[in-house]
Structure 1
Amino acid sequence: MVPHLTTALNGPLLSLEKSMLNAMPKIEHWFRTQWLDHAAPFYASVDLRNAGFKLAPVDTNLFPGGFNNLNPDFLHLSVQAAMVAVEKICPEASRLLIIPENHTRNTYYLRNVVELANILKQAGMNVRIGSISPEITEPTLLETHDGQPLLLEPVVREGNRLKLAAAKIGDTALSEFDSCAVLLNNDLSGGIPDILQDLEQNLIPPLYAGWSTRRKSQHFAAYNRVAREFSDLLGIDEWLLNPYFETCGEIDFNARTGEDCLAAKVESLLEKIKLKYAEYGVTQEPFVIVKANAGTYGMGIMTVKSPDDVRGLNRKARNKMSVIKEGLEVTEVIIQEGVYTFESINDAVAEPVVYMMDHYVIGGFYRVHTGRGVDENLNAPGSHFVPLAFEKPCTLPDCAGAPDATPNRFYAYGVVARLALLAAAIELQEQDPLNQ
């Protein structure tokens, strides 16, 4: 199932793809030199938007939760990348403990954990799943939506190490488990629990990658620098792959404080976008996305086309914007240039999500929503996922083919996703307490 791009690729994006194809050796060499200076995150996913005239990342997740949505035909890419990622962190590791999110009732998320464990097992690891949820007090066998079993075991802390205690489930004896490294698939939106503090084991990603401390504005500030250097390398306009953004702190939607700051930033950003639209002959209406500066799950997000849209919000809109995952209050927002998505699958609006392990693209999928428009957030209830249907991995373009041929479009997606990954690497380097 190949996605349909509803705008003809004959404008700036086609030119951008041509530039990438022509400069492929230069691009790959540039990435190699970047990874010598910056350690890639263990894994990440990047949400992209393709407007036909612009291709840009709009979110980067360092605790990706959709491994079950990847095309199984490319499992070998995930396994090879996982081998490299594990070797860098713990070269002699044979055991790995995965700590998932606490919401054990989301059977689709659990299927993601099963698939992640499967990838790491095939990479040569003995993998077990340890829960820090207060609800899991003994080994608990769960089932995913498609009938896959998942054994969750309560994590215990001994000194500065996380372990799984010896136990029994039914007639099956479970041995004690002490791992070299601990892989978090829990984004720490609710804060950093004491059990994870000051561990001697390798904790990946590090605690400061979680949403209790991370900010989207920090990521996109790093992306600004990456996009600028990459654009200079190719001799292209940085705006074609970089969304403008601003931030606004001291927001309280319920108390209606910070509205003037927000409206002023929205107006300023819309004016900048209008100038770019005029430069490139874009006829669509500019818009921005206002969203919480931390957190995931598509919460605390609104599409804004005028400063008046953020003034005097009604109670329903204020409630929607004021709270994110784990019930945390929103006190700071990022105002990001809205990027249209003109891709569709079966007439439903779609956006690509690219997955990476270490610095390798391992696949991706389309997030599809039948009830949302081309200028709206698709990460919302009612979305579904379609694996990227490319015939070759994103890193193998057909240089002899048309720039908008499917493998070439996906190569462009892989390049932009890796730019966001590099920005995440720089962001984590700068947030590392040892570098402060």
Structure 2
Amino acid sequence: MSVPHLTTALTGPLLELERKILAAQPEIEHWLRNQWQEHTPPFYGSVDLRNAGYKLAPVDMNLFPGGFNNLNPDFHPLAVQAAMMALEGYCPDARRILLIPENHTRNLFYLQNVAALAKILRQAGMVVRIGSMNPEISAPTELDLPDGSKMLQEPVIRTGNRVGLADFDPCVILLNNDLSGGIPDLLKNIEQTLLPPLHAGWAVRRKTEHFAAYDRVVAEFAQIVDIDPWLINPYFEHVDGLDFHAREGEEKLAATIDTMISKIAAKYAEYGIDQTPFVIVKANAGTYGMGIMSVKSGEELVGLNRKQRNKMSVIKEGLEVHDVIVQEGVPTFETIDDGVAEPVVYMLDRFVIGGFYRVHTGRGIDENLNAPGMHFKPLAFATSLSTPDCDGSPDCEANRFYAYGVVARLALLAGSLELEEGSL
């Protein structure tokens, strides 16, 4: 089983970076196979990519991916096969899985994702039940889904060092809950296989640690492909000691932004890129596109108005933001249906199983697209081929975005290193 190739609205000759990645395909696949012999991939993950034409880089890696409902149905058999392989690796005799989602009961798009994930696991041969840690669900509760189906969620209970349901003792607990609100006592020190591990949650994990691991992965990879690591790696810095409400740390943050802008400008000059450098400032933990700003100079962060300070100071679960990642902004040159687009690539175990474009008609090429008003376009299989077409032209469909799957897997490998180093 290899990497499916993602189609895109774009056509035209492959850019130099993609051409180099395509040319090095045998070396890349051999190197990745060796990496997966040494490191265990996360159970699943999704990677937000930005393709600027001159640069293709991951800007976020989610270890608790939602959005399985946005994948093209063509990818489903591949997802099932990948789930089988992942479960064999973690728990060879697994039969029963307890899937624990986020505490949303009214976010119907999210619930459709849970249903899609449960379907993949059931078709991989598992008995799957959905257990909720939501205090509102104190008895088995049926939730209506937009497609007319229903989902049964049942309260999770703990007996000794095992968690399950009243009549269900699972071998594997799969979290689709990113633990932003902290690690619940319910899940601490249990004897079952827990995927992903507790320290993968945002209560512990930090984006800067992920990108530090990604730096190391890319340094090795770039030597194999003979490219400047910057072409697939955004600059980043960590700034802590912030209090947006009290305006503490503003000057330090502004100085970090200005230093990075000048570093990016130097690279743009080196490559003859006619773009205005920008950076993304975002909370160092958490998801949902909260606590994010796109800025072109440090002074934009000094003297924010109250609305902007409120936006930056709190993320999911009402958590306050005291440290941020300052990340090089990568513009996207991809558009679909008059909207700016970025690909999100999904992986199960070490395999790419699909993806979609996140599209926003109200945002610019240098803005965060994970925002209200976005919509999704599933990526289809380019062809039935599961490897690049070595005889085809560089921009034939099978080759068009082989690079997407490669860069996404580099981010996944960084996630693997992160989990190994961060184990509790």
* TM-score bin (small chain): over 0.9
CA deviations 1:365-403 (Å, max 9, x no partner) are: 000111111000000111111101232379522233333
Query: What is the rounded CA distance, in whole Å, between the counterparts of 2:384 and 2:223 in structure 1?
Result: 26
Letter in 1 for 2:234: P
Secondary structure of the structure 1 residue equivalent to 2:139: coil
* 2:82 is the counterpart of 1:91: no
1:18 aligns with 2:9: no
Assess if the C-alpha contact under 8 Å between 2:345 and 2:405 holds in 1: yes
Deviations 1:278-306 (A, max 9, x none): 11111010000000000000000000101
C-alpha contact (below 8 Å) 2:7/2:382 kept by paired residues: no
Moved segments of 4+, more than 6 Å: none
State the distance in 1 between where 2:153 and 2:135 align: 12
What secondary structure sits across from 2:156 in the alignment?
A: strand
Q: 2:273 and 2:22 mapped to 1: Cα distance?
A: 24
**Residues 58 and 232, structure 2, Cα contact 8 Å, conserved in 1:** yes
Q: Is the 8 A contact 1:184 1:204 kept in 2?
A: yes
Cα deviation for residue 148 of structure 1 reads 2.3
Equivalent residue pairs, number: 419
Task: Quickly say closer, same or farther: Cα 1:404–1:258, change in 2 above 3 A.
Answer: farther
The residue that corresponds to 1:32 in the other structure is: 33
Give the aligned residue type for 2:388. P
d(CA) in 2 for partners of 1:197, 1:349: 42
SS of 1:98's equivalent in the other structure is strand
Give the letter for the 1:208 counterpart. H
Give the 5 Å matches for 1:32-431: 32-165=33-166, 176-392=167-383, 396-431=387-422
Residue of structure 2 equivalent to 1:172: none
SS of 1:221's partner is helix
Alpha-carbon distance, 1:104 to partner: 1.2
> For each residue in 1:188-222, what CA deviation from the matched residue of structure 2 results, as whole angstroms up to 9, or x when unmatched?
00001111111011110000000000000000000
Greater mean deviation of Cα atoms: 189-198 or 391-400: 391-400
* 2:16 partner letter: S
Q: One-letter code of the match for 1:368?
A: V
Q: What is the DSSP-based 3-state SS (H/G/I as helix, E as strand, rest coil) of the residue aligned with 1:177?
A: coil
CA contact 1:394–1:410 (8 Å) conserved in 2: no
TM-score w.r.t. the length of structure 2 is: 0.97
Structure-1 separation of matches of 2:157 and 2:174: 15
Residue 173 of structure 1 corresponds to none
Structure 2: which amino acid aligns with 1:28? E
Distance in structure 2 (CA, Å) of the matches to 1:94 and 1:129: 15
Partner Cα distance (1:101, 1:404) in 2: 41
Structure 1 residue 21: deviation in Å? 1.4
Segments of structure 1 that go 5 or more residues without pairing to the other structure are: 166-175
Q: Deviations over 1:54-83 (max 9, x none)?
A: 000000000000100001011011000000
CA contact (8 A) 1:17 1:403 kept: no
Secondary structure at the aligned position of 1:390 is classed as coil
Kept in 2, the 8 Å contact 1:394–1:414? The answer is no
Contact 1:291 1:333 (C-alpha < 8 Å) held by counterparts? yes
Deviations 1:98-151 (A, max 9, x none): 000001110110000000000000000000000010000011010122222111
Q: CA deviation at 1:228?
A: 0.9
Q: What's the CA shift string for 1:338-361, capped at 9, x where partnerless?
A: 000110111111100000000000
How much has 1:20 moved relative to structure 2?
1.5
Q: Which residue identity lines up with residue 89 of structure 1 in the other structure?
A: Y
> Do the aligned partners of residues 225 and 185 (structure 1) sit closer, same or farther apart at CA in structure 2, a change above 3 Å counting?
same
Larger deviation: 62-71 or 388-397?
388-397
Distance 1:238 1:394, change over 3 A: farther
Amino acid at match of 1:68: N
Kindly state the Cα deviation for residue 223 of structure 1 after the two structures are TM-superposed: 0.2
Q: 1:302 to 1:5 in 2, by over 3 A?
A: farther
Deviation, 1:2, is 5.7
For 1:232 and 1:393, the matched residues in 2 are separated by 31
Deviates more, 1:141-150 or 1:153-162: 141-150
Shift of 1:15: 1.4
> 1:314, 1:394 → 2: CA distance?
52
1:326 counterpart SS class: helix
Separation of aligned partners in 2, 1:221 and 1:144: 40
Give the TM-score normalised by the residue count of structure 1: 0.94
Task: Give the Cα–Cα distance (whole angstroms) in 1 for the partners of residues 384 and 314 of structure 2.
Answer: 38
Matched residues, percent identical? 66
Contact 2:360–2:373 under 8 Å retained in 1: yes
Aligned-partner Cα distance in 2 for 1:264–1:46 = 29
Higher RCO structure, 1 or 2 (CA under 8 Å, sep 6+): 2
Distance 1:148 1:377 in 2: 33
